[in-house]
Every structure is written in structure tokens, then in C-alpha cells.
Amino acid sequence: MKERRSKLQILADILEALAESGEMNISQLLTAANLSYDRLTRYLRELELNGMIYAERRNSEVRVRLTVKGSSFLQEFRKIKKIAEAFGISL
């Protein structure tokens, strides 16, 4: 059975996808993060409010980028994941 992702893991997945691609639109993020539109926009709003992503409206499209704060949070999360993995803690 596939385990449910925690909120922290979902936020990290979004940031990870952005770190890999540099810049993404909403439909690309929907596929990469494997989320419904409603949930994705909710998480994106939260990430934007915390200064971890930067969303730019260009014509009818929204382009999302990772900020420096988001990038350093992602680095921190990778370390947390390693330590959680070592002691068998599920995030």
C-alpha cells in the first residue's frame, strides 16, 4: 500500500520540482507534484506567503520560481529526510 504524504513532504515535493526545472507553470506543477488543482493552489499560496516561491503572472499564465529562502529550506529538508531515514521516522 502506498503511504500518504505529509504536508511537509508535499511542500518539499513542490520545491524539489521547482529546483529541478527552474521555472514551471501550474499545469506542469500539477503533474510534478501529483496534486489536485485546489490543493496545489492552496500549497502554492502558503509557499508564496512564506517567501519560498515567487509567482509571476504573465498574460494568462502563472510562472512559479523558487526563491533563495525556498532553496535553503529545501536543502534543510533534504538533511532532515536523511536523519529521519536513519532512525526510521516517517515524515
Partner 1 sequence: MSLEPVHALPILDIVGILSLITLSFLLYKAYRVSLNKLFLSFLLGFALLSVGEFGRLILFIAIIFSRRPSFLLFFLNHSLALFSQILEVLGLLVIALGYTLEVFGKGQASALIVAFQERRFLMNPFLLGNVLSASLLVYICLNAFSVYVKNKRSTTLAPLIAFSLLLLSNILSVVAFATREELIVIVSRLIYIAGLYVFLWLALKVVKSP
Supply the DSSP string of 77-91, one letter for each residue: HHHHHHHHHHTT---
- Give, rounded to a whole angstrom, the gap between the first and last alpha carbons of the chain: 17
Q: How many residues does the chain have?
A: 91
Please, what is the minimum distance in Å from the beta carbon of residue 50 to partner 1? 12
Please, what is the minimum distance in Å from the beta carbon of residue 62 to partner 1? 27
List residues binding partner 1 (CB under 8 A).
8, 75-80, 82-91
Of 55 and 89, nearer to partner 1 (C-beta) is: 89
Please, what is the minimum distance in Å from the beta carbon of residue 83 to partner 1? 5
Of 55 and 84, nearer to partner 1 (C-beta) is: 84
Cα separation, 80 vs 6, whole angstroms = 14
